[in-house]
Structure 1
């Protein structure tokens, strides 16, 4: 049994990752909502917030932990600054690899504006390696629904955006944020890819 320490910036992601936890893994959860809220207030990830994220990740690399997983795409670049004795991974890095490995057109849906550029950067790296064409989209109205506590409406809006992207010819649709995972079940056409299952599998393999 391997232990994966998860750092979340949204409280609801604990249940999302527990539901996606693969056999052979046990999860611990740490919530740091301040990191995402401060990034939103600043209009994006700053060096100071990235450094705070790195320190928070390093603090989770305690004895008995086999890997640390950052589940927030907005503060994702902070993972690269963390120095730990165990692998420190971004959940969206595994998603980017999974979504782009088949080439073709990949549409990446983002709910919050602050995650667009970090998401574009990490998906562009994977798309370049795998010969995929990238289309990163912000889903209008999604984050407002999330912040208002309308989780059902949030997932419905994202699912509809996924259906549109597939209808337009996308080979794959990826959901940039773990909080969007509930949209998978609501999509009427081909299912979009969510980060928790692939991210946890990557952490387990690491």
Structure 2
């Protein structure tokens, strides 16, 4: 099977993640077929609870099951707040499954020891920081993670004020650039803010591009091992 025959399921918890990942696929592997599965109530509930509940995890699992039943070759979850759930459920399915940000976080640990994290969803900041610390332990590398959460930016994006969303993120980029080696945008929905950023003095990582390349690589790897 060639990449042109790949069918990839995208599991979303917010509409704000959809266009960034579609754009990334269009740029890097436009030949694949994408199938989208959405439950936007997940992000609203997450913003209310601040944690991923068992009920939310079950609903996410149902979305993944629908994707698998549709015949996809791989699955990519596009909301970083649900990354821990992926580790808990991926063994239940035979197709490769990746979280939104794991590959990006691994790359960040390789690039620097002072890592800045910017998130716009409350739960995404601590989740990202925890995973970074876990990766650093596995790689036996000391890192310092500085996390900034700006929920007002997410609200602006939800209300269609993309310019204000980007401006709020740019402000934090300037602050973190003073004492970080690399900065991460924790969510797919934030990737657009990098496109509107005029000047940056340190690397800024966003997960759409890295995730696209990673899920395609995972599917290819499985084919070779079959």
TM-score normalised by length of structure 1: 0.90
Q: Any conservation in 1 of the 2:17–2:79 contact (CA below 8 Å)?
A: no
Structure 2 unmatched runs, 5+: 219-226
- Pair 1:76 & 2:83 matched: yes
Pair 54,124 (structure 1): closer, same or farther in 2 beyond 3 Å:
farther
2:208 corresponding residue in structure 1: 196
For 1:146, what is the secondary structure of its paired residue?
helix
Shift of 1:156: 2.0
Q: CA RMSD in A?
A: 1.9
Find the aligned partners of 1:111 and 1:84 in 2 and give their Cα distance.
31
> How many aligned residue pairs are there?
205
Q: How does 1:142-157 map to 2 (within 5 A)?
A: 142-157=153-168
More helix by share: 2
Find the aligned partners of 1:8 and 1:179 in 2 and give their Cα distance.
11
Find the aligned partners of 1:97 and 1:195 in 2 and give their Cα distance.
11
2:49 corresponding residue in structure 1: 42
Which structure 1 residue ranges, 4+ long, deviate > 6 Å from structure 2? none
1:114 corresponding residue in structure 2: 123
Q: Any conservation in 1 of the 2:126–2:147 contact (CA below 8 Å)?
A: no
- Pair 1:30 & 2:37 matched: yes
Find the aligned partners of 1:42 and 1:96 in 2 and give their Cα distance.
25
The structure whose Rg is larger is 2
Q: Any conservation in 2 of the 1:107–1:172 contact (CA below 8 Å)?
A: yes
TM-score normalised by length of structure 2: 0.83
For 2:9, what is the secondary structure of its paired residue?
strand
